[in-house]
Amino acid sequence: MQLMGTFKYIILWLASIWKAAHSLFYLKWTIRNFTDNATECHHCLTGKTAIVTGGNSGIGYATSVLLASRGCRVIIACRRDATQQKEAIMKLTGNNQITTKRLDLSRLESVRQFAQDIAKTEEKIDILVNNAGIGATSQRVTEDGLNTMMQVNYFGHILLTYLLVDKLKVSSSPRVIFLSSLMANVHDLTVDNLNETNFKMDATKTASHYSNAKLCSILAAQEMSKEFQNYGIIVNSADPGIVKTSIFDSSYSVDLENHWSTKIVLECLLLLFKTDAYFSAKTILHLAASKDLEAGSHYFRCRVFETPSILKDRRFCSEIWQKTKQLLLIDS
């Protein structure tokens, strides 16, 4: 019985990938992954201040290094003490303007405290990189009554961005970047499961919540871009490709039913499409610094890229966006 369940699960996974592979998006993505180079961005960022959530690890760390190497002040916002990473970035780039601040996206109170701290200490924020994320969790619901995976990967960043909007408005060229993923293409998002709190903790649900959060990140960039247009804030989302970071190991360490089959699928994807964290962070740097951007778009390898077709459904996007704001008590 157990074997049959696992077999069924693998078939479901393969079917999802097959579905994605059949879409034009996936074909183009695959071809570009092998053939294209990210463009080089040489803009000077001296005088700019960036916040990188999860800037102490993986793609966020590489982003912090790239921003710092162009003279940007970088505030690394993360859960753990990041003194070591801060010193490593200073040494690597010769830029001493690196700060670390505590932020736990799984607690909205921590998001509010972080934003209050920024309000007191910073005149303006030029670049906000909503990068932090998890691939799995053993916690179903947060103290805020939200789905933990959705809160860390999506809701927390939405609240953070709204709380920082006054600091972004005063920048001469403010940017907000959301990190998404190829996984957004295998979402099963509906208005009803946006904040699913009663579910079986297994690998299938984990993959579904991760994919939904990553779809929501693209949707957030689309919607916020329109909302913040009058303030000159450019909001985009980025697909970093596939990079071997600690998100994989920390996800594998969560004890979930059928998790080993997810591991096989992810390791196969890594084997086929793996890129380097710095290479992948170039798209984020491009969105942070380039003067030639299409606001509200999704980028891969420094270029505008197709989004999952559901995001062309205005009614769906508007309903998800309104419900997100309702859940976070944001009225704007």
Q: How far apart are CA 233 and CA 332, in angstroms?
A: 16
Q: How far apart are CA 73 and CA 70, in angstroms?
A: 9
CB of 84 to ligand NAP, least distance (A): 11
CB-nearer residue toward ligand NAP: 60 or 174: 60
Residue 79 makes contact with ligand NAP by CB under 6 A: yes
Residue 39 zone, left/alpha/beta (φ > 0; ψ -120 to 50; rest): beta
Q: How far apart are CA 40 and CA 168, in angstroms?
A: 25
Which of 4-12, 77-85, 160-168, 300-308 is the region at the interface with ligand NAP (rule: CB under 6 A)? 77-85
Residue 106 makes contact with ligand NAP by CB under 6 A: yes
CB-nearer residue toward ligand NAP: 113 or 250: 250
CB of 168 to ligand NAP, least distance (A): 19
Maximum Cα–Cα distance across the chain: 62
Distance of CA 142 to the CA centre of its chain: 19
Q: How far apart are CA 242 and CA 226, in angstroms?
A: 29
Residue 242 makes contact with ligand NAP by CB under 6 A: yes
175-179/127-130 β-pairing: parallel
Query: What HEC string does 116-147 produce?
Result: HHHHHHCCCCCEEEECCCCCCCCCCECCCCCE
Residue 245 makes contact with ligand NAP by CB under 6 A: yes
Which of 8-16, 185-193, 243-251, 303-311 is the region at the interface with ligand NAP (rule: CB under 6 A)? 243-251
CB of 125 to ligand NAP, least distance (A): 17
CB-nearer residue toward ligand NAP: 171 or 282: 282
Residue numbers of the site for ligand NAP (CB under 6 A)? 53-54, 56-60, 78-80, 103-106, 131-134, 152, 179, 181, 240, 242-243, 245-247, 250
